[in-house]
Amino acid sequence: MTNKKILYKPVDPEIEKLAQLHGGTHEAALEVLKDLSADHKLNQTTITETARVLHLPAHAVHGLATFYSMLSLEERKKVLRVCDGPVCWLKRASFQSSVISGQSSVIGEWEKQMPDYTVERTSCLGLCDRVPAILVEDEQAGPVEIQDANKVCEGWRGVTTDYSKPRKGEVRVMIALIGKIDPDSIDDALSHGIYDGLKKALQSEPTVVLAEVESSGLQGRGGAGFPVGRKWRFVASEMKTPRYIICNADESEPLIFKDRVLMDTNPHQLLEGMIVAGYICGASEAWIYIRGEYEGQARRLERAIELAEAKNFLGENILESGFSFKIHVHRGAGAYICGEETALIESLEGKRGEPRLRPPYPPTYGFRGQPTAVNNVESFCAVPHIVKNGAEWWRSLTDDPTPGTKVYMVLGHVKNPGLFEAPFGLTLRQIINDFGSGMMKGSTFNFALCGGAAGTIVDDSLLDIPIDFASSQKGISLGAGAFLICDQTVSPIAVLRELLHFFTVESCGKCTPCRVGTWRSLEILNRMVSGQGRQGDTDELKTLAALMQDTSFCGLGQSVAIPMKSVLTHFGTEFAKAEKQLVIASPKGEAIS
């Protein structure tokens, strides 16, 4: 028998206070842990005490503390997070000695330069237009090289990208007001017509507004393209109340940063879209689940909510319409999987961000078991414009079968990387030449990663296919609208290795194929890029991709196969070379002849 005695002592009053501050229910667990972690007080004792205060089993709170990457039980100083995303990697690759030891050597350099900080790697920070990017405590910084360390210590945070001038050929709807308004001023927003859509919507019955959204053909902008109107009809037709609206702002996929820009430059547009959604669905409350790394954006949204409440666009009896609505901002704590809607709901409920069994789907059984609409930031941002200008107008913006415009991101070896808005149906050639101003000097197109980390890797044979949600059938995906263009110096195997590294780190671990499959794939790719490929590696990668796609529990595991399968199709010969160890240990993967 153990001689340890379990001592029942009263809980630290500070933890009790924290728990009450965050609502005192089990949903407060993550918030309490984040506060404890920020004060460097996260340890076994405080975890157990938090569990006692919130009436949770200790393992549930410990499971949280070890699940989210921003929480740590280890002693930390101030935290500096170095982005480990593929775009930052591509930028840094020039001075890396090797792909595998690469990022750790970057971390070592930062540690040397900034001894007051604990330096950690982190998955993509969503600052792909400011690479290489870092997160200093909760402040985003980029582009920041190691030689800028002194400036960073003094408070310099790089420069933000200016998108106020549209590129040639852009059709701006959702980002029309970038740079034209002060995002923190509601008067500015009002003078540019924000909340006009809401005013118009409140004058009609919810069913009429819903019909307008449905006939606009607006498809979800998170990547799957599910019709927004149909989802809201499911929620609105549920008998159960209360119903909830959730905005998925957990933008954690490498290459994607559009939601950050949308929230940063025009927060009221998002709020307006959410209020309209609430009106349509008969919902009473909404949450914006924003990734923990977007602290600045979260604060901006909180300010915007206060301002909107003061003007009665939010709160009780909005504009005398009898409709009441509240919006809360909830910060994540570092987990890509929480972008999966059921995992997001679990996380919002104060649990580990593991996906739920489906069915039931969130419109029937969502947050707190109630009917819930979960939509992407960009989807909400499109709604006020549709309500204001009509479904006809939205459809008239493009000839492509997918109506409306989309915010795109073009990155990598193009002259003018960044964000732009245009109708659906662009080809990759148009994206590179018309919007990205062509390839960089000395660069020729080698391949592109299309959609996001879980997108397709394509060669030049697919340059002229119009891209929309349906084009993935033809081998080129739209996803969330990001395109990483790589030139002849970049090895597709090395890029795939970066992606698998991301998926391995971010897999929640619930199901076997994703948990072990990503890890094994990464192990193979690590060998291949460092010149230790073996006969049979390619076949094993193919088998693993098929297994993960067929049998994974959720979209994360299933979509790992998309880049794997596409790159194996287009660059089979590269893999064959790597199997024969013809690739040297270079991040750029030049072949030895």
Partner 1 sequence: MVNIKINGQSIQVVSGKTILQAAHAHDIEIPTLCYHKDLNPTGNCRMCMVEVEGGKFLQAACVTPVWEGMDIRTHSEKVAKDRKMTLELMLANHPQDCITCDVSGECELQDLAYEYKASAPEWGSKGTRYPVDSDPNPFIRVDMNRCILCRRCISACAEIQVRDVWGVAKRGFDEVIVAGAGTTLLEARCESCGQCVAYCPTGALSNKMNYGMARAHQVKKVTTTCSYCGVGCQFDLLVKNDKIIGVQSNPNAPANGMALCVKGRYGYDYVHHPERLTKPRARRYLLEGKDKNDIRDSIRDTRKSNTELSNIESPWDWVETEWDIALDIVAKKFIEIRNNFGADSLGFLTSAKCTNEENYLMNKLARQVVGTNNIDHCARL
Residues that bind partner 1 (CB under 8 A): 1-2, 4, 6, 44, 47-48, 51, 57-63, 66-67, 335, 352, 357, 359, 504-513, 515-520, 523, 543-544, 546-547, 549-553, 558
Nearer to partner 1, 24 or 63 (CB): 63
Residue 461 CA, chain-centre distance (Å), reads: 29
Nearer to partner 1, 332 or 412 (CB): 332
Which two tokens mark 429? 């050639």
Nearer to partner 1, 245 or 508 (CB): 508
- Cβ neighbours of residue 362 under 8 Å, at least 6 residues apart? 246, 341, 342, 345, 371, 372, 373, 374
Rounded least distance, CB 471 to partner 1, Å = 17
Strands (E), 296-393: 326-331, 372-376
Rounded least distance, CB 142 to partner 1, Å = 26
Nearer to partner 1, 60 or 274 (CB): 60
Rounded least distance, CB 519 to partner 1, Å = 4
Separation between Cα atoms, residue 532 and residue 528, nearest integer Å: 5
- Cβ neighbours of residue 85 under 8 Å, at least 6 residues apart? 123, 124, 125, 128, 133, 254, 255, 498, 502
Separation between Cα atoms, residue 507 and residue 105, nearest integer Å: 24
Separation between Cα atoms, residue 413 and residue 571, nearest integer Å: 19
264 membership: H or E segment, kind and range: helix 258-265
Nearer to partner 1, 25 or 312 (CB): 25
Which two tokens mark 533? 């490929």
Query: Cβ-count burial of 270 within 10 angstroms (0-12 exposed, 13-18 middle, 19+ buried)?
Result: buried
Nearer to partner 1, 1 or 239 (CB): 1
Rounded least distance, CB 66 to partner 1, Å = 4
Burial 92-118 (b: 16+ CB within 10 A, else e): bbeebeebbebbeebbebbeebbeebb
| Amino acid (one-letter) located at 442 | G
Which two tokens mark 305? 């909510």
Nearer to partner 1, 60 or 458 (CB): 60
Q: Quick one: DSSP state of residue 47?
A: H
Rounded least distance, CB 510 to partner 1, Å = 6
Which two tokens mark 500? 């698998």
Rounded least distance, CB 29 to partner 1, Å = 12
Nearer to partner 1, 113 or 364 (CB): 364
Rounded least distance, CB 294 to partner 1, Å = 21
Rounded least distance, CB 46 to partner 1, Å = 9
171 three-class SS? coil
Nearer to partner 1, 392 or 523 (CB): 523
Cis peptide before 132 (omega within 30 of 0): yes
Q: Which residue has the tokens 């299933």?
A: 558
Nearer to partner 1, 4 or 9 (CB): 4
Separation between Cα atoms, residue 419 and residue 469, nearest integer Å: 19
Rounded least distance, CB 514 to partner 1, Å = 8
Rounded least distance, CB 443 to partner 1, Å = 35
Separation between Cα atoms, residue 435 and residue 431, nearest integer Å: 5
Rounded least distance, CB 67 to partner 1, Å = 5
Strands 418-423 and 405-412: antiparallel
Nearer to partner 1, 276 or 337 (CB): 337
Tell which residue, 301, 287, 300, 291, has the closest CA to residue 333: 291
Rounded least distance, CB 508 to partner 1, Å = 5
Q: Which residue has the tokens 């592109």?
A: 448
- Cβ neighbours of residue 190 under 8 Å, at least 6 residues apart? 311
Strands (E), 308-451: 326-331, 372-376, 405-412, 418-423, 445-451
Nearer to partner 1, 67 or 232 (CB): 67
Nearer to partner 1, 72 or 433 (CB): 72
Rounded least distance, CB 570 to partner 1, Å = 22
Strands (E), 202-269: 244-249
- Count of C-beta atoms within a 10 Å radius of residue 278: 26
